[in-house]
Amino acid sequence: MSQTAPQSNMGEPAPAQAPDDERSVVEIIGDVASDLTALVRQEMELATAELKQEATKAGKGAGMLGAAGLLGHLALVFLSLALVYLLDNWMPAELAALIVTVLWGGMAVVLALSGKQQLQSTNPQLPKTQRTLKEDVQWARAQKS
């Protein structure tokens, strides 16, 4: 920002801006406030990005658990069919139904374990945000002294 000389001092040069080390308290407070505002905005953006990432992980795990529930339900349907065939027919039909039931049940177990592992790997503590917040506190303390 350039300062212009008042009309009465036409021949005199405009006063120069004070160097950074001779700033007024109001200027220093204004600079610190704008820096803190930018810092808080950046921290909010980081927290939002981390939360989206963790929510995606949790969503995948929940989807796998949902699929495991569906496959478990199918296993029960085929088990029921197998029991019906066992009571009504001879060996080949029941054996086929039991094989399908075991197959669906095995798939349900695999998906359930995978979903559980995916959910346990999520980290809702937002480690990057915590680390940068600690750095920001140290920076603010350095500005204070």
Q: In Å, how far from its chain's centre is CA 142?
A: 30
The domain ranges of the chain are 26-144
Determine what percent of the chain is predicted with pLDDT higher than 70: 75
pTM (whole model) above 0.85 = no
User: What is the helix, strand, coil percentage profile of the chain, to 5?
Assistant: 80, 0, 20
pLDDT digits (tens, 9 = 90+) for 55-84: 888 888 888 888 898 998 888 887 777 766
94-98: long-range contacts, CB 8 A cutoff, minimum separation 24: none
Q: Specify the pLDDT at position 110.
A: 92
Contact between 57 and 122 (Cβ < 8 Å): yes
Contact 111, 71 (CB under 8 A): yes
pLDDT greater at residue 54 or residue 89: 54
Give 2-60 pLDDT, tens digit per residue.
Answer: 444 444 444 444 444 545 567 788 888 888 888 888 888 888 888 888 888 888 888 88
Higher pLDDT, 114 or 90: 114
Task: Supply 1's token pair.
Answer: 């920002």
pLDDT of the residue at 116: 87
- pLDDT at residue 122 in the model: 79
The residue among 56, 74, 83 whose CA lies nearest residue 111 is 74
The residue ranges of DSSP E strands in 70-120, in sequence order, are none
Q: Which amino acid, residue 3?
A: Q
